[in-house]
Structure 1
Amino acid sequence: MKTWKCIIADDEPLARELISDYVAKVPFLDLKGIFTNAWEVRDFLQKNTVDLLFIDIEMPGLDGLTFIKSYNIQPKVIFITAHRKYAVEAFEVKALDYLLKPISFERFLKSVNELDTKNTEANLRSNHIFISIDRQQQKIQLDKIMYIESKGDYLSFVLEDDKPLISKMTLKAILEQLPENFTQIHRSFIINQNKISAFQKDKVKVGEEWLTISRSFRNDIHFGE
């Protein structure tokens, strides 16, 4: 079972305490931080990576919805709020769920169990993806991808025994389509762990290429385990 690293952001002390207590009861959730506003979350995510964010919508200074809409590198999101009126907007930004206060543990558990189910289903998807190249959808077999490199607004898909393919998209967008054996090691690289031929603390060899593991991703990568 995948362990989901998560953080909580809510300006209400009782809400923070309740959700943290709920998280502690779920074995596949690993709480990495508790914050009182979105700015603190932003600062944390600039140096750390997590899988899941529980965030209130109405917070002073920067509300949760505006933060999610404006922040490019996002974990998955479950909104926490006392108001139903934001539900449509929440799901427009692809939130996993929308929990209304007061939140029961039963409702919380249903939400995170669904999260784990979706992760299992994602791992059982097809063995290929489609990417846009020259106004058409190009099929790529996942087991042929060595690594993916970000080059500005474009991605280079470095393939085994074939020339690279170039598509206009972001690392975040493609990572959401990939199974768990694909890991981001740097703001410019996603690697296929099945193609690793050697590794060190700060770099990994994929095929014949040595790629840097950035400090912000180093604690999340355990190739030798």
Structure 2
Amino acid sequence: MNYKCIVIDDETLAIDVLVDYIGKFPVLELVGTFDSPLKSMNTILTNSLDLIFLDINMPDINGISFYENLPIKPKVIFTTAYSDFAVKGFEINAIDYLVKPISFERFFMAVNKLMANGAHLPVAQASPMNFSFNESQDYIFVRAEYASIKINLKDIVILEGYKDYVKIHLVDEPKPILTLSSIKHYETSLFSKGFVRVHKRHIISVDKIENISRNRVKMKTKEEFILIGNSYKDFFYELVVNNKI
């Protein structure tokens, strides 16, 4: 089943982020984007939409008021930079309420809630430069030191982002592999292979977790703790600790 959806937000950057995330889900069909709720009315009334990604704080009309007064009500996921409207959002049976900046993991959780039977939505695989991977592989190739280096996924403990570089920390290897890439490049492709992003700088192997304490993760073979960022915390605990996803 495909879900027809639109994005309504008065911020161009926020629209771009959601369009990028939506493109990773083959079952989501993006019908259009709008910088004003009023501009979206004709599309909502004539396209049998399944879902609206709807900002709340907009100049023309408040997103919640707009949704409450729609004659036709698709399912809705509210997005906003403020958490004050969360209770009201859930009172009108919103699928979810996403606080900006929206991480991919949090977006993934929200879209999964569309499925009444709890099934997961397939995520399209990314294929960034310096990264070779597909579903059947248990390894990746990365470009480092003028060569393409093969790395077994089971040997990866942490991926650590530094602007345009990523350090890949391996089991029993004191020196990480440094590759010219972005941490975001690895986020989607490695998710289905036992890795999860816990911070804007860190992706970790779930299998290599030793313990979790006070929003910090202790990894096997590593002395230091990895901080779980606030925007990643809910998804991490639902996925890894509570096993609900």
Pick the TM interval, shorter chain: 0.5 to 0.7
1:221 aligns with: 236
CA apart distance, 1:42:
8.9
2:7 aligns with: 8
1:194 aligns with: 207
The 8 Å contact of residues 155 and 169 in structure 1, kept in 2 or not, is answered as: yes
Sequence identity (%): 21
Give 1 or 2 for the bigger CA radius of gyration. 2
Give the SS at the match of 2:102: coil
1:146 aligns with: 157
The 8 Å contact of residues 144 and 160 in structure 1, kept in 2 or not, is answered as: yes
Shift in alpha-carbon separation, 1:50–1:153, aligned structure 2, 3 A: closer
Taking the aligned partners of 1:52 and 1:19, their CA distance within structure 2 comes to 27
**Unmatched tracts of structure 1, length 5 or more:** 1-5, 24-30, 54-74, 76-114
CA apart distance, 1:127:
0.1
CA apart distance, 1:49:
2.1
- Structure 2 counterpart of 1:203, one-letter code: R
CA apart distance, 1:45:
6.8
CA apart distance, 1:195:
0.6
Shift in alpha-carbon separation, 1:202–1:36, aligned structure 2, 3 A: closer
- Structure 1 counterpart of 2:181, one-letter code: M
Task: Count the aligned residue pairs.
Answer: 152
CA apart distance, 1:126:
0.1
1:161 aligns with: 172
CA apart distance, 1:132:
0.6
Give the SS at the match of 1:177: helix
Shift in alpha-carbon separation, 1:126–1:36, aligned structure 2, 3 A: same
2:54 aligns with: 34
Pick from 103, 116, 126 the counterpart of residue 49 of structure 1.
103
2:188 aligns with: 176
Deviates most, 165-174 or 40-49: 40-49
Taking the aligned partners of 1:48 and 1:131, their CA distance within structure 2 comes to 28
CA apart distance, 1:149:
0.7
CA apart distance, 1:151:
2.1
Taking the aligned partners of 1:198 and 1:20, their CA distance within structure 2 comes to 47
Taking the aligned partners of 2:184 and 2:156, their CA distance within structure 1 comes to 17
The 8 Å contact of residues 185 and 213 in structure 1, kept in 2 or not, is answered as: yes
Taking the aligned partners of 2:80 and 2:41, their CA distance within structure 1 comes to 19
